[in-house]
Amino acid sequence: MKTFLITLCLLVSFTNLANETYQFDSPEQERLYREIANELRCPKCQNQSIADSDAPLSEDLRYLVYQKLKAGENKQQILQYMQDRYGDFVLYDPPISPKNYVLWFMPLLVFIIIIIALIARVGRRELQPEDEAEE
């Protein structure tokens, strides 16, 4: 029983080492850090924010965000830096620009094509005479 308790205490104590402990100047700065970390996609991981990812690159990016916040940069400056360095992919909400028009407008274009095809199909049915439809 003693061995079990010692093992349990050791396991619990090491779980705290896995969490990053950054010292922020204010709760607002910590909230901003978490917000930015959740808005940035890990360049290495598949569909994970840097806040959720355990990849070493994400750890580096989280630390970079922390350093930039401590240096006094605002959210927009940090996001712009990350976008300049890693491209639009790093942002979960990429801006509308000519290089990603397909990403933004393809769903709308497909929807319009489907609506036009349905209207044309219904229109053809209405134009067929009833006699031909019975044969």
SS (H, E, C) the chain: CHHHHHHHHHHHHHHHHHCCCCCCCCHHHHHHHHHHHHHEECCCCCCCECCCCCCHHHHHHHHHHHHHHHCCCCHHHHHHHHHHHHCHHHECCCCCCHHHHHHHHHHHHHHHHHHHHHHHHHHHHHHCCHHHHHC
More confident residue, 96 or 121: 121
Q: Which of 22, 51, 23, 21 is nearest to 36 (CA)?
A: 51
Tokens 């994970």 belong to 48
Distance of alpha carbon 34 from alpha carbon 78, whole angstroms: 13
Cα 81 to chain center, whole Å? 17
Q: Is the pLDDT of residue 20 over 80?
A: no
Distance of alpha carbon 62 from alpha carbon 44, whole angstroms: 14
Q: What is the pLDDT of residue 22?
A: 83
Q: Over the stretch 48-105, which tens digit does the pLDDT of each residue have?
A: 899 988 899 999 999 999 999 999 999 999 999 999 998 888 887 777 778 778 877 8
Q: What is the pLDDT of residue 13?
A: 58
Sketch the domain layout of the chain as residue ranges.
2-95, 98-135
Q: What is the pLDDT of residue 16?
A: 47
Mean per-residue pLDDT of the chain? 83
pTM of the model: 0.62
Q: What is the pLDDT of residue 36?
A: 93
**Residues 44, 57: contact at Cβ < 8 Å?**
yes
Q: Is the pLDDT of residue 134 over 60?
A: no
The correct CATH number of 2-95 out of 3.40.50.300, 1.20.210.10, 1.10.8.640, 2.60.40.420 is: 1.10.8.640
